[in-house]
Structure 1
Amino acid sequence: MTQREKSFRIAIRKFGPFESAIEKQWASFQQKTGITLSLETEALDLHPLYHSYFEKEDLKQGNWDVGFLSSDWFATAHQTGAVLNIAPYLADNPPEDYPHGWTSSLLHMHQFDDVVLGLPYHDGPECLIYRKDLFEDPQEQEAYQQMYGTPLRVPQSWDEFHRVARFFHRPEQGLYGTVFAAYPDGHNTVYDFCLQLWTRGGELFDSSGQMMLNTPQAAAALEFYRRILNDPEAIHPQAREFDSVKSGFAFANGEVAMMINWFGFAAMAETIAESQVKGKVDIATIPFEENGRTVSLNAYWILCIAAGTPHPDIAYEFIRHCASAPMDKLLTLEGGIGCRKSTWADGDVNQTIPFYHKMESLHHYARELPRLPHWAKLAGFIDELVLAVINTDRPIPELLQTVQEKIRR
């Protein structure tokens, strides 16, 4: 037997809670099943993970057994045949309470007709995450009232968001008003743009299905993004170096008063040992403008089985084990976000993370990115546009016209 045949290899999206949870879930799986394969994991950031899956074709080649797969990549994985269809396994031996133990919003995106790409692992829609101790402090409330002539509250509009960020921006205390994950990885800037666009009543595509970015709503979204990202009196100075994970850790370290980020980073701030803000965190819906409405972005991760795995049956049993209620709860208490309804309502979880029960309500406002095989290319246009907006002073109408011409080509 080769070394590869003796090992079980998992590609993990680089994030401490994922890494520790998988180690514990594998140990639990071994104890339950007696499987003796040795676990080998590698934690990768988004670009290296995508490169491994779809450029090196490590899933098809069998260099992985199980992988973390983002909802951004579902269509690509399906089109390329990179992952195993688990529908036959689900028919024979589904996880307990499947599918009713999950919301439909965490099941339909990774299903293509009769093909199912995996099982939900980590969820957590985008939301407004804030320091409730700051917002509820009577001295802060009085100071804000005197400064602006209006009560301090969780921001309802983007202009109010900017104003509150400037109010709490105190670099001399190691506190910054807000942070955006502006690192150019083709994901975070795209997510931010979509939220800014949708909360102003805009859309990515016109009625014919053509991506249409040259719109008044897109221009307004980008004007705001440029203004706040370049405001040294509101933004964390390392925002351009931060992805969503680093932004989440900055918040947990007590460096940020509020941010728009994934629900999971609010939960993480209540669970990880090094958090400086335990008991001081809450969440709210995302601000919006007059012609828009509050929106959340639903993106999630599944555990998939590599098409070329030498251990397909064991791989299914493992991801099924991870989808069990105890393992979903374990992930959550490690700092990830379980996907089961039972976890969202769990008493222990809500005692540790008092706002966890709000998860289901966030899904009422959740939208999803388009499930297109060429989405990575379209997202690249958005990423390029947003980076030009925040890193140059070129007029935004000109930038929009330029990117629209590229899309048409």
Structure 2
Amino acid sequence: MEKIRIAVRKFDPFETTLQKLWDAFCLENNISVEAEMIPLELHDLYEQTLTNKGLINGDWDIAHLNTDWIFDAVNSRAVENLSPLISQNPPQDFPEGWHHSLLHLQEINNQVYGLPFHDGPECLIYRKDLFENTTEQINFKNQYGYNLHPPKTWEQFTHIAEFFNRPEQNLYGCVFANYPDGHNMVFDFCLQLWTRGGSLLKDHKQININQPEAIEALDFYRQIVNNQKTTHPKSKEFASVEAGMAFATGEAAMAINWFGFASMCEVIEASKVKGKVDIAQLPSNENHNPASLNVYWLYTIGSGSKHKKIAYDFLRFATTAKSDELLTNEGGIGCRKSTWNDPEINKTIPYYHKLSMLHENALTLPQTPVWPKVAELIDAMVLEAINGEIPSQKLLETTQTNIQKII
């Protein structure tokens, strides 16, 4: 038999987990099939699987796709409908084993097109050892007139980032991921918008970002990213993985990133902040709710795969409670409720149980085939904002005009 080819989101914990799972799967089922796993960066992964029709052509049997892309993938018939396979031979505890927020984005027209692989909504990650230090607390109160605690508002976030910004100690107040990959800056913009009471969708459920809350969101974001008194100077070079590593190696007091980068701090060897980290909900403007963003990774099967049976058998194996725990212990984020509440995992990662809290406030991006193109336009807009002088209102107007052309 030919090899099974798997397109893997490039990230060490994903790569090591997949290899261990495949080896265990072959051993348990007494099969000797080689899996060729190719780790790909975000842009390359999208290009190889969807733009170049790799899933349709049979170049890939299995692929990691994130939920931003699944609507596009289903629309172009790139991924296999798993519903008939699930009804014959469901995964362990399906669907009760997962929080409902991890099952609905891949369910389109009542059909299921992927199984949850890796999760962890956006949250505030912070250094609890700094926040709980008595000297720091006294100095902060003297300087700002209120007690030091995880920021509830964006103004407090700025104060705290200023307070902990100590370049001479290679410690910065906060770190962002501003590498233009069509994702992180788009997500950051959405979070800034939502926590100010804005929405991506206006009348008739059309995407419309040209609104007062968006001006405020973009103004704040471009200002904080460029603020040398608060922000890690390499933020503009960092994608989410590099920003996560900078936090894990002790270079920032706060980060807004995926939950997975918090848990990574407790399990990877390179971490210098084990036992010193906690998470909280994101800050928001007064009288507005905190928000989180729920984008998660799926296991999908290519519609052109010649090995669909073994691919689905592997997906069932890779999503058991035991496999979900393995992913977590390797540094990824398990998707099952059993993993979130596991006492051993919460011993290693004391805030793991907070995942269910984050999911209660987690919003999702619009499900439309044009979203990847809209995301590119928003990404370009935020990049222009942080690197240039054009007023936010003008940038938003221009971007909205370009969005209208796509819609």
Q: Tell me the TM-score normalised to structure 1 length.
A: 0.97
Q: Distance in 1 between matches of 2:3 and 2:19?
A: 14
Counterpart position of 1:272: 268
- The aligned amino acid for 1:217 is E
Q: Distance in 1 between matches of 2:366 and 2:400?
A: 18
> Does 2:376 align with 1:380?
yes
Q: How does 1:354-365 map to 2 (within 5 A)?
A: 354-365=350-361
* Aligned match for 2:85, one of 86, 89, 92: 89
Q: Distance in 1 between matches of 2:356 and 2:363?
A: 14
Q: Distance in 1 between matches of 2:114 and 2:374?
A: 25
> Does 2:245 align with 1:231?
no
* Aligned match for 1:120, one of 102, 116, 121: 116
Q: Distance in 1 between matches of 2:118 and 2:191?
A: 20
Offset of residue 161 of structure 1 = 0.3
> Does 2:362 align with 1:348?
no
Offset of residue 217 of structure 1 = 0.3
Counterpart position of 1:43: 39
Q: Secondary structure at the match of 2:374?
A: helix
> Does 2:21 align with 1:20?
no
Offset of residue 166 of structure 1 = 0.9
Q: Distance in 2 between matches of 1:57 and 1:208?
A: 32
* Aligned match for 2:138, one of 131, 135, 142: 142
Q: Distance in 2 between matches of 1:398 and 1:371?
A: 27
Offset of residue 362 of structure 1 = 0.8
Counterpart position of 1:286: 282
Q: How does 1:133-212 map to 2 (within 5 A)?
A: 133-212=129-208
Counterpart position of 1:253: 249
Q: Distance in 1 between matches of 2:151 and 2:78?
A: 43
Q: Distance in 1 between matches of 2:207 and 2:367?
A: 13
Q: Distance in 1 between matches of 2:333 and 2:133?
A: 29
Q: Distance in 1 between matches of 2:404 and 2:107?
A: 30
- The aligned amino acid for 2:359 is H
Counterpart position of 1:263: 259
Deviates more, 1:108-117 or 1:297-306: 108-117
Percent same amino acid among aligned pairs?
A: 51
Counterpart position of 1:327: 323
Q: Distance in 2 between matches of 1:205 and 1:75?
A: 17
- The aligned amino acid for 2:247 is F
- The aligned amino acid for 1:100 is E
Offset of residue 199 of structure 1 = 0.3
Offset of residue 350 of structure 1 = 0.6
Q: Deviations over 1:353-403 (max 9, x none)?
A: 010011111111011001111101111221121111111011112212222
Superposition misfits of 4+ residues, deviation over 6 angstroms = none
Offset of residue 203 of structure 1 = 0.7
Q: Secondary structure at the match of 1:120?
A: strand
Q: Deviations over 1:326-350 (max 9, x none)?
A: 0000000101011110000111111
Query: Aligned residues, how many?
Result: 405
Q: Distance in 1 between matches of 2:37 and 2:92?
A: 26
Q: How does 1:94-113 map to 2 (within 5 A)?
A: 94-113=90-109
Q: Secondary structure at the match of 1:6?
A: coil
Q: Can you give the 5+ residue segments of structure 2 that lack an aligned partner in the other structure? A: none
- The aligned amino acid for 2:356 is E
Q: Distance in 2 between matches of 1:295 and 1:18?
A: 27
Q: Secondary structure at the match of 1:208?
A: helix
Offset of residue 142 of structure 1 = 1.1
Q: Can you give the 5+ residue segments of structure 1 that lack an aligned partner in the other structure? A: none
- The aligned amino acid for 1:180 is F
Q: Secondary structure at the match of 2:205?
A: coil
Q: Distance in 2 between matches of 1:37 and 1:238?
A: 43
Q: Tell me the TM-score normalised to structure 2 length.
A: 0.98
Q: Distance in 1 between matches of 2:286 and 2:110?
A: 42
Q: Secondary structure at the match of 1:336?
A: coil
